[in-house]
């Protein structure tokens, strides 16, 4: 299987892919859920990351699995640096369109993006159409029924993850059952949901084995949830 980048660029990319430890933890949780569900990641895989920012997740994926990485966000493509030539970029308004005109993508990720979409039905429908049969969706989003909200909202505290004015554009919030149901409604199957972490990531125990174990078993209590789903053949 051929790499999408040269050996020299590949080794340089490994150095660039050093992430903030908490970002790396979140990314790896999603990758592990995806591969545990049966996805195979290698140089034959085309991966489209929606809301890619500056390609942090794609750099990790290319460094670890040599996937063909494609990113999309709302910043102008002219701002992409030559150092990021190993992954492709397309500017798009993700609430209206998906980029990249070629048919069929093996994996699409949307990490902390769904809550920003006004038309979530259109967003999920376009993802489903863009995926190859047996292709995978990986997404993460805040959980409105997290433990903090269950405790604090009855005490009169405004729910975390929601906003009463447009600050970071959180216009939709899910819980685990609603997310599962919405994915199934749009044709996905093999839906699996876990939490990012059960204990706060800002604490030393947030990335502990106990926190991950509880997040696997009790995603409906976690601040953020991760889902993978497959497009049937």
Question: What are the domain boundaries of the chain?
Answer: 7-230
pLDDT of res. 122: 97
* 9 pLDDT more than 80: no
* Neighbouring C-beta atoms of residue 36, cutoff 10 Å: 11
* 15 pLDDT more than 50: no
Contact 166, 118 (CB under 8 A): no
Percent of the chain past pLDDT 70, that is, above it, reads 92
The token pair at 136 is 């995978």
**Average pLDDT for 1-13:** 42
Of 82 and 148, which is predicted with more confidence?
148
Alpha helices in the chain (DSSP H): 7-16, 21-36, 56-65, 120-130, 147-152, 176-185, 209-217
pLDDT of res. 2: 36
pLDDT of res. 18: 55
pLDDT of res. 78: 87
Of 98 and 5, which is predicted with more confidence?
98
CATH topology of domain 7-230: Rossmann fold (3.40.50)
Band of residue 197 on the pLDDT scale cut at 50, 70, 90? very high
* 149 pLDDT more than 90: yes
For the chain, the first-to-last Cα distance in angstroms comes to 24
Percent of the chain past pLDDT 90, that is, above it, reads 80
54-113 per-position pLDDT tens digit: 999 999 999 999 999 999 999 998 888 888 889 999 999 999 999 877 779 999 999 999
- Scanning the structure block, which residue is given the tokens 């993850």? 161
Band of residue 6 on the pLDDT scale cut at 50, 70, 90? very low
Band of residue 206 on the pLDDT scale cut at 50, 70, 90? very high
């Amino acid at each position: 299987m051929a790499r999408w980048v040269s050996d020299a660029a590949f080794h340089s990319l490994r150095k660039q892919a050093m992430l903030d430890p908490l970002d790396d933890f979140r990314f790896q949780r999603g990758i592990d859920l995806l591969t545990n569900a049966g996805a195979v990641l290698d140089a034959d895989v085309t991966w489209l990351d929606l809301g890619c920012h500056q390609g942090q997740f794609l750099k990790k994926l290319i460094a670890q699995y040599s996937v063909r990485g494609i990113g999309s966000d709302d910043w102008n493509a002219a701002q992409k640096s030559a150092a990021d030539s190993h992954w492709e970029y397309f500017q798009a308004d993700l609430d209206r369109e998906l980029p990249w005109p070629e048919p069929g993508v093996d994996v699409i990720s949307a990490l902390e993006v769904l809550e920003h979409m006004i038309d979530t039905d259109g967003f999920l429908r376009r993802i489903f159409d863009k995926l190859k049969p047996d292709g995978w969706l990986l997404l993460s989003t805040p959980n409105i029924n997290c433990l903090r909200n269950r405790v604090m909202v009855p005490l009169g505290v405004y729910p975390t993850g929601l906003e009463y004015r447009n600050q970071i554009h959180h216009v939709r919030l899910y819980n685990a059952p609603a997310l599962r149901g919405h994915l199934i409604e749009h044709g996905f199957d093999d839906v699996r949901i876990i939490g990012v972490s059960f204990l706060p990531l800002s604490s030393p125990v947030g990335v502990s084995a106990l926190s991950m174990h509880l997040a696997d078993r009790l995603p409906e209590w976690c601040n953020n949830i991760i889902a993978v789903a497959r497009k049937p053949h």
